[in-house]
């Protein structure tokens, strides 16, 4: 049970603010309510992050392949960290201050070393809102990613409070202070900076050439439907082609399991191609958004999570531009 | 000197207005003969919506599953919420009124299908989570109501239109893109029309209201397929799907529009003779 449901429960019992103030109202409720609520009140919000070793000195914290909720607190994302001779390199910081703090403690407990670099792959809230837990002077990304965080970060924070509630407590936007211009060698690991895009207007992929681990951010998804709120599909396909040409041992997608073998890139490409073709042909047949959303998902995506919900969101993101392209011009505007 | 006649006039007009008021009240009391049905969506605004849009008791109101309102229940983009109202299950539809209880401007649009199916799809802006409803008036004077609750983030009505971020938005003002599809048996025609327009609500700082207020869909000889009265909440660059009943002799459809600053625009949309490329519409909302 999450905190919002718990509070609703206490309100129904007349244990709101008017009766007893703040926290003590909850305590009073906990004392004589059923065990479930008692437990819910006692349990602090915790992500219980776990690191899996996927390559020498390289750990991934794999999030469930879900949508943001009051249950998961925004932990739907992969973060990663790499052990180098000079300290730890982190890739993405998670969806909240609470996640960032837990990630930092997990890194400390696993490697007992200082963090020397944090890379942010792109400006979506699940990837950078843990920044507060890290030193801003160590956080680096592409100039355009930093610009995107600056212009859209606050709005993301507001929406994440709405979608997740108390998990977000205290979370604020922290901008990366290092603007990445070229690749860096850290503790004997040459980290290749790959400035790509398509999932958003700027997506950073990182290749650790020492271990052969490719961190793609949200340019690749695995067994979780790709998201498109800021997507440019043509640019995204170009980036996928570029990524495919890069020799690597293991690919860490933004969402889904890390593995070798190219499945994440192929599946992301296949899904995006299907989505676009399906939408364009539907518009050509005179169908509106609500009709297109009812399109069945092909069987080959049956083990891809968050469908059809993510497809519905994509229709909301992509329909208008496609319609503008496909509807014939009848009269020009202007004076 | 002039005071006395003035006072007389004043008292006369006062008496007259009292008379009018009491007459009005009596009139309302007799008219309010139908009972207000309980709202399945349990909206706090239902009583007010009932008085504002459904004649407050002067006409019978029923909640009716034949008024299908399809939308995306968990709103992804509060500036563009897709809605389809399909009342083809009802006969002799005079008018479709669409409103949303908790928007700062309740009225979204009114559609009067004449030679057209009672079917319309469009996009609109939401300011917060709210019911979206369609009330369909049939010729027997009954309002048939359908609707759903939307779950949304805030701000759709009070933010500036995207157009205001573009320096040359006026160059494309009232550009019309449109297409007509006919089913192979010629029994169904679908018109999709999109007009370039900022559709300013007047609620964004420093930007006055500026929106398309009417859109008439006619044949080239002037037969009226349907008339649309559009309000501020309809999305920027509004797009509609309508189902005009074309005769086989109709080779095009005329769209006549006007915005509140008096800009008129007209588009003549060619109608193909036959087409098999028409997808079937669905019957339910998605979450």
Q: What are the tokens at B230?
A: 């559009």
Among B123, B267, B286, beta carbon nearest to A293 = B286
A106 vs B170 pLDDT, higher one:
A106
pLDDT, tens digit, 9 for 90 and up, residues A193-203: 999 999 999 99
Residue A317 lies in a domain: no
Residue B35 lies in a domain: no
User: Does the CB of B125 have a partner CB in chain A at under 8 Å?
Assistant: no
What's the rounded Cα separation, in Å, for the pair A268 and B133? Answer: 38
Residue B41 lies in a domain: no
Do residues A215 and A241 both lie within one domain? yes
Residue A180 lies in a domain: yes
Among A290, A294, A334, beta carbon nearest to B171 = A334
Do residues A94 and A151 both lie within one domain? yes
Per-residue pLDDT of chain B (287 residues; tens, 9 = 90+): 344 444 444 444 544 444 444 444 444 444 568 999 999 999 999 999 999 999 999 999 999 999 999 999 999 999 999 999 999 999 999 999 999 999 999 999 999 999 999 999 999 999 999 999 999 999 999 999 999 999 988 777 777 777 787 778 889 999 999 999 988 777 889 999 999 999 999 999 999 999 999 999 999 999 999 999 999 999 999 999 999 999 988 999 999 999 999 999 999 999 987 665 777 776 667 66
Q: How many other CB atoms sit within 10 Å of the CB of residue A314?
A: 26
Q: Are strands A329-331 and A139-141 parallel, antiparallel or unpaired?
A: unpaired
User: Does the CB of B170 have a partner CB in chain A at under 8 Å?
Assistant: yes
CATH code (residue B99):
2.60.40.2470
Residue B9 lies in a domain: no
Q: What is the total count of domains within chain B?
A: 1
User: Does the CB of B183 have a partner CB in chain A at under 8 Å?
Assistant: no
Do residues A145 and A254 both lie within one domain? yes
Among B70, B172, B192, beta carbon nearest to A290 = B70
Do residues A246 and A197 both lie within one domain? yes
Q: Are strands B212-219 and B224-230 parallel, antiparallel or unpaired?
A: antiparallel
Do residues A137 and A230 both lie within one domain? yes
Q: What are the tokens at B169?
A: 């938005």
Contacts of B117 in chain A (CB under 8 A): none
Do residues A139 and A213 both lie within one domain? yes
Query: Facing residues of B96 across strands?
Result: B111, B136
Alpha-carbon distance A278 to nearest alpha carbon in chain B (angstroms): 12
Of the three residues A217, A246, A272, the one that is the final residue of a domain is A272
What's the rounded Cα separation, in Å, for the pair A182 and B131? Answer: 51
| Range from A81-85, A179-183, B30-34, B101-105 carrying the lowest mean pLDDT | B30-34
Q: Which pTM value belongs to this model?
A: 0.85
Do residues A165 and A34 both lie within one domain? no
Q: What are the tokens at A153?
A: 């970060």
| Closest residue, chain A, to B283 (C-alpha) | A291
Contacts of A288 in chain B (CB under 8 A): 82, 84, 121, 192, 241, 281
The pair phi, psi for residue A165, each rounded to 5°, is: 70, -130
Banded model confidence at residue A319, pLDDT cuts 50, 70, 90: very high
Contacts of A321 in chain B (CB under 8 A): none
Do residues A113 and A143 both lie within one domain? yes
| Closest residue, chain A, to B128 (C-alpha) | A162
User: Does the CB of A313 have a partner CB in chain B at under 8 Å?
Assistant: yes
Are B175 and A309 in contact (CB < 8 Å)? no
What's the rounded Cα separation, in Å, for the pair A218 and A120? Answer: 11
Contacts of B269 in chain A (CB under 8 A): 330
Please report the pLDDT score of residue B12 as a whole number.
47
Q: What residue has token string 């819910």?
A: A40
Please report the pLDDT score of residue A94 as a whole number.
98
Residue B281 lies in a domain: no
The pair phi, psi for residue B155, each rounded to 5°, is: 105, 0
pLDDT above 60 (res A4): no
Q: Specify whether the CB–CB gap between A81 and A91 falls below 8 A.
A: yes
Do residues A37 and A67 both lie within one domain? no
List the domain range (segments joined by +) for residue A37.
3-42
Are B177 and A287 in contact (CB < 8 Å)? no
CATH code (residue A140):
3.60.15.10
Q: What is the total count of domains within chain A?
A: 2
pLDDT above 50 (res A318): yes
Do residues A79 and A205 both lie within one domain? yes
Q: What are the tokens at A65?
A: 């392949």
DSSP B234: B
What's the rounded Cα separation, in Å, for the pair A91 and A289? Answer: 36
List the domain range (segments joined by +) for residue B59.
46-270
Residue B210 lies in a domain: yes
Residue A294 lies in a domain: no
pLDDT above 90 (res A257): yes
Please report the pLDDT score of residue A41 as a whole number.
56
Are A286 and B181 in contact (CB < 8 Å)? yes
Do residues A9 and A95 both lie within one domain? no
Please report the pLDDT score of residue A129 as a whole number.
97
Are B153 and A159 in contact (CB < 8 Å)? yes
pLDDT, tens digit, 9 for 90 and up, residues A7-56: 333 333 322 222 222 233 333 333 334 444 444 555 689 999 999 999 99
Residue B6 lies in a domain: no
| Range from A50-64, A104-118, A127-141, B163-177 carrying the lowest mean pLDDT | B163-177
Listed in sequence order, the residues at least 6 apart from B167 whose beta carbon sits closer than 8 Å to its beta carbon are: none
DSSP 3-state of B170: helix
Do residues A177 and A75 both lie within one domain? yes
User: Does the CB of B70 have a partner CB in chain A at under 8 Å?
Assistant: yes
- Angstrom CA distances, B43 to A136, B50, B127, B129, stand at 47, 11, 16, 11
- The closest of B164, B257, B157, B258 to B201, measured between CA atoms, is B157
């Amino acid at each position: 049970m999450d905190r919002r449901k718990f509070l609703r429960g206490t309100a129904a019992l007349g244990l709101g603010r008017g009766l007893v103030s703040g926290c003590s109202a909850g305590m009073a409720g906990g004392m004589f309510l059923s065990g479930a609520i008692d437990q819910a009140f006692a349990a602090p919000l915790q992500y219980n992050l776990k690191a899996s070793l996927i390559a020498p000195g390289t750990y991934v914290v794999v999030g469930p392949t879900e949508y943001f909720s009051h249950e998961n607190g925004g932990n739907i994302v992969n973060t990663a960290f790499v052990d180098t001779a000079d300290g730890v390199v982190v890739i993405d910081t998670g969806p909240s201050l609470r996640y960032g703090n837990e990630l930092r403690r997990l890194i400390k407990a696993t490697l007992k070393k200082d963090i020397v670099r944090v890379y942010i792959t792109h400006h979506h809230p699940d990837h950078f809102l843990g920044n507060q837990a890290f030193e801003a002077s160590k956080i680096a990304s592409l100039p355009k990613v930093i610009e995107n965080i600056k212009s859209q970060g606050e709005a993301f924070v507001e929406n994440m409070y709405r979608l997740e509630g108390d998990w977000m407590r205290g979370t604020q936007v922290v901008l990366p202070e290092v603007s990445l211009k070229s690749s860096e060698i850290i503790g004997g690991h040459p980290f290749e900076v790959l400035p790509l895009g398509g999932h958003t207007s700027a997506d950073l992929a990182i290749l650790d050439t020492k271990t052969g681990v490719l961190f793609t951010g949200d340019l690749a998804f695995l067994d979780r439907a790709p998201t498109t709120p800021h997507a440019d599909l043509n640019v995204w396909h170009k980036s996928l082609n570029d990524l495919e040409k890069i020799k690597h041992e293991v690919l860490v997608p933004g969402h889904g399991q890390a593995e070798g073998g190219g499945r994440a890139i192929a599946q992301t490409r296949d899904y995006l191609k299907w989505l676009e073709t399906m939408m364009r042909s539907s518009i050509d047949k005179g169908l509106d958004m609500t009709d297109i959303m009812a399109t069945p998902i092909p069987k080959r995506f049956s083990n891809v999570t968050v469908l059809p919900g993510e497809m519905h969101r994509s229709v909301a993101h992509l329909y208008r531009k496609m319609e503008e392209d496909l509807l014939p011009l009848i009269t020009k505007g202007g004076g | 000197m002039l005071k006395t006649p003035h006072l007389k006039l004043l008292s006369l007009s006062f008496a007259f207005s009292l008379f009018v008021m009491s007459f009005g009240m009596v009139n309302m009391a007799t008219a309010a003969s139908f009972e207000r049905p309980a709202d399945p969506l349990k909206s706090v605004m239902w009583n007010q919506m009932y008085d504002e849009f459904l004649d407050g008791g002067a006409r019978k109101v029923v909640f009716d599953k034949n008024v299908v309102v399809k939308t995306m229940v968990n709103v992804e983009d509060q500036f563009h919420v897709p809605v389809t109202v399909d009342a083809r299950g009802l006969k002799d539809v005079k008018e479709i009124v669409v409103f949303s209880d908790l928007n700062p401007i309740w009225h979204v649009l009114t559609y009067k299908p004449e030679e057209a199916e009672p079917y319309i799809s469009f996009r609109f802006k939401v300011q917060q989570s709210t019911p979206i409803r369609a009330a369909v008036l049939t010729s027997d004077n009954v309002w048939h109501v359908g609707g759903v609750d939307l779950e949304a983030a805030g701000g759709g009505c009070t933010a500036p239109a995207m157009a205001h971020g573009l320096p040359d938005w006026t160059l494309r003002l009232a550009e019309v893109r449109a297409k007509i599809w006919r089913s192979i048996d010629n029994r169904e025609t679908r018109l999709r029309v999109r007009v370039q327009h900022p559709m300013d609500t007047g609620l964004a700082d420093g930007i006055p209201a500026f929106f398309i207020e009417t859109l008439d869909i006619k044949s080239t000889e002037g037969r009226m397929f349907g008339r649309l009265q559009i309000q501020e909440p309809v999305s920027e660059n509004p797009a509609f799907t309508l189902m005009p009943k074309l005769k086989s002799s109709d080779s095009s459809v005329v769209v006549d529009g006007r915005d509140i600053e008096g800009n008129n625009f007209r588009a003549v949309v060619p109608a193909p003779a036959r087409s098999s490329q028409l997808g079937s519409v669905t019957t339910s909302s998605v979450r």
